Chains A and B, each alone.
Chain A
């Protein structure tokens, strides 16, 4: 049963929250600045609670079931993080308080920067960016600023592999760069020949996702980085897949110059139904002066009796801020709680088991699904969701059928270079039993595709909603509880 909207639940005169009468004299409010009408709903508290509780029940989340959404790292989000972020000392501090009143907060940011530096091998980290794509924009702006500071103005070309996420080319375009797409070779690596052909003195750099969105560690990573560096370009790392390599391989050791992390993927902060995330950026010493501030720093080492004094500083040649205040502090607290609990060895174990889990599912599905780049994968892999003898079946049908078994579908139709892609990332927090249920279900669905394709094509059947008509949505464009032209009704 569809849930009414808040406007349909509204009745004039109701209210769900109240505030005290003013304890000060009422001031005059000039009529000229006041609005006539405030078109918001009027609902009692209990009905607001029921409405949003019922809505929540229409969602699938990590807390309700398996969520192997590739490239998104839908691992378990520890409950303790939700407690620490709500400690009054974190939730109720203003970003512009004098630094001596927020030493804990800045100290936490500092420690988080240190952990990220150690895990990645970079020399400096800024926590400012709000999400992965925002980190990309930041990183690309840093690369641009670096070249321009060297008066190397002709470097306007960014190389982006064809397996890259859409945010990579979009971020580069936002910084005014020209994008050249690189093909992948037969093993899913960057095509070296194509790469070398583009490495000239107009090269600004390359954006690499490693492991790639195929879940593969590039076998020529070192050569790729060398080739770009020799041409005077810089290597950007999209750290969306960092969950595969914590304590295993450090991007800076392998030649990356700048990389963004996704705290909302790798470091177990919840995805919030689409955000907020956090996309810190790490860089080599050479690029450090260009980082966006403010960055947490120790400005006085302290002594045995005195703790160190932390402050927020701006790098010398900073590209400037990329958002207001200091970044998504609430996400930082959650990520820091998680890191502290796992410790260095625990983070390494997390990555090892993420890779173990992905390879286990890949091995179990290999005989049933085409694995276009079939080798040991990292934390995820891509399968093809179609068969020659089931011509009417697409990856989307498999995805929708998975929902009938309480499983969230893998990422669909991405990366673009695999036909009917199903990108599967189980994460380390899933048990063998859960993985087996998933594999068994995928195999069962593959049988159904042959014996009863309609069952897939009309799926899902057991969910509160059937397939939604996206064409109608785009054609009729109802984006609001009332249509703009008849708002007065």
Chain B
């Protein structure tokens, strides 16, 4: 399959090489293990493969078939047809890292534009070309802050409102270092101020999320002031769609902005590939990890783009590189660039507001069901936390009979934090008022059943 060789080609090629048969090319390999017997099925043609994969896909229930209120870091949004139509251009998706800029200007300029739009959205000065996802972007922020102080400040303050997967990833990344992670067990309803007492002259970074994992839009100004007084850096992790509406972290003093870019037109796809956003103040540009595209000129005097500042990276610096990242999320960053260009200033704001209104309508309706109430008083964007009168797992199992994917069960990740009966509910533009009403009715019914 996919081999263009004819028998005559093979023969001629072997003759040129000077061997008799293909097996002769493998003579220097350990003989006892050569050509193992493989317990794998025979190949199939495209018709059969598609049929089988369709069959597997059909065994899943989609967010098109179910009414989904699941968010928790991955959101069901509409992606305009333009986005996928551009992504399907072979010139984009069958290229690799643009190390040869003369024949990669398409990728390079698109990433340069992506960087620019991320800068605009976040209020930072510079953006890199992407990290793997929101979790690894946060881990890289921790890494950068630690190295910014040459390892002399070992403490990283993590907000308990950071996505649990991101915090877990940070733990995995830092296990073999002397980095101390604090703050994750501060009380959830005490707000960002609860982190202030942890900040000291040993603190390299304070990392928070905006809106936080529970949907809350905090005012971080006091926390950031305290961090800066101690000369620590602050990383704010964002949902970029929320920034269509909310104050950008650049406005309230963030030094680093990380983000999960999935909400910018990227399909749910069972969790990936998504998009790690990483932007920072200008003075950290040489400390940031990952690829960066810069503007320059060619020999003919034309404006063009190249990968720049590569002396930070592993292929030059090897063990002294700021990170090991090589392949990133190029095509997903392109998708986000197309999405942001298409919606633009007005579209993104309109969409963010639409999400806001739908979520607030849903929150109000749900809070009016007996036994349900909003867990927090802070403003929220398109996701909010509800205290339920029964365990969430029990409600969700029953909601599924109504073809409803209930919200995320916070009892799973925050069992010891008093959130056993709390549901995190996301409402996007994909949910109609009727569906919200249906959800409210179903919730009422399954609670009383």
Contact = CB atoms under 8 A, between A and B. Distances in A.
A330 B97 contact: no
B17 A363 contact: yes
Interface string A367-391: 0000000011000000000000000
A23 B354 CA distance: 9
A290 B73 CA distance: 26
Contact of B57 (A90, A171, A375): A90
Given A340-B44, A343-B43, A16 B344 contact: yes
Contacts of B166: 324
B331 A276 contact: yes
A376 B28 contact: yes
Interface string A454-489: 000010100111111110111011111110100000
A5 B112 contact: yes
Interface string A54-73: 01111111111001010010
Contact of A141 (B52, B117, B172): B172
Nearest to B300: A466
Contact of B135 (A274, A324, A432): A324
A155 B85 CA distance: 51
Given A59-B95, A330-B269, A341-B46, A173 B176 contact: no
Contact of A2 (B57, B304, B436): B304
A344 B35 CA distance: 11
A186 interface: no
Given A104-B58, A274-B328, A465 B247 contact: no
A83 B308 contact: no
A477 to B, nearest CB: 6
B169 A323 contact: yes
A468 B306 CA distance: 7
Given A247-B38, A428-B3, A96 B25 contact: no
Contact of A102 (B61, B88, B331): B61
Given A45-B342, A324-B260, A480-B115, A348 B38 contact: yes
B304 A27 contact: no
A56 B313 CA distance: 26
A16 B361 contact: no
B25 A273 contact: no
A243 to B, nearest CB: 13
Interface string A37-63: 011111101001101110111111111
B368 interface: no
A152 to B, nearest CB: 14
B84 to A, nearest CB: 8
Interface in B36-56: 36, 38-46, 49-50, 52-54, 56
B295 to A, nearest CB: 4
Interface stretch (B120-128, B189-197, B440-448): B120-128
Contacts of B184: none
B36 A253 contact: yes
A95 B323 contact: no
A29 B244 CA distance: 13
Contacts of B9: 431-432
Given A320-B168, A345-B43, A472-B296, A356 B56 contact: no
Nearest to A187: B28
Nearest to B18: A363
B212 to A, nearest CB: 13
B260 A35 contact: no
Interface in B318-366: 318-321, 323-332, 334, 337-338, 340-351, 353-354, 356-358, 360-361, 364
A133 B334 contact: no
A297 interface: no
A466 to B, nearest CB: 4
A343 B41 contact: yes
Interface residues of A, number: 202
Contacts of B63: 92-94
Interface stretch (A195-203, A217-225, A280-288, A445-453): A217-225
A430 interface: yes
A270 B275 CA distance: 16
A44 B391 CA distance: 48
B367 interface: no
Contact of A359 (B17, B41, B42): B17
B1 interface: yes
Interface residues of B, number: 203
Interface in B230-288: 243-248, 251, 260, 267-274, 282, 285
Contacts of A75: 2
Interface string B47-90: 00110111011111111101010101110101010101110111
B103 A463 contact: yes
Contacts of B292: 479
A83 B52 CA distance: 13
Interface in A201-226: 217, 219, 221-222
Contacts of B432: 23
Interface in A315-372: 319-331, 333, 336-337, 340-350, 352-353, 355-357, 359-360, 362-364
Contacts of A271: 93-97, 327, 330
A166 B315 contact: yes
A43 B342 contact: yes
B177 A467 contact: no
Contacts of A299: none
B57 A89 contact: yes
A103 interface: yes
Given A6-B341, A87-B57, A121 B293 contact: no
Contact of A466 (B29, B92, B132, B298): B298
A282 B53 CA distance: 24
A61 B22 CA distance: 29
B344 A93 contact: no
Contacts of A353: 3, 5, 22
A274 B96 contact: yes
A11 to B, nearest CB: 10
Contacts of B177: 176
B302 A52 contact: no
A311 interface: no
B223 interface: no
B54 to A, nearest CB: 6
Interface in B92-144: 92-107, 109-113, 115-117, 119-121, 125-127, 129-130, 132-136, 143
B420 to A, nearest CB: 17
B36 A250 contact: yes
Interface string A238-253: 0000000001111001
B53 A84 contact: yes
A232 to B, nearest CB: 18
B96 A35 contact: no
Given A55-B106, A323-B133, A463-B103, A98 B347 contact: no
11 contacts: A27-B356, A35-B248, A35-B251, A88-B64, A91-B269, A273-B111, A328-B273, A360-B16, A476-B296, A478-B296, A480-B119
Given A16-B80, A477-B308, 18 more contacts: A19-B347, A25-B361, A35-B245, A39-B345, A56-B92, A60-B95, A177-B176, A273-B104, A275-B327, A327-B271, A328-B273, A345-B43, A360-B13, A376-B17, A467-B102, A473-B305, A476-B296, A479-B126
Q: Which 8 A-B pairs have the closest CB atoms?
A: A89-B57, A325-B271, A274-B330, A63-B90, A344-B40, A272-B331, A95-B271, A343-B43
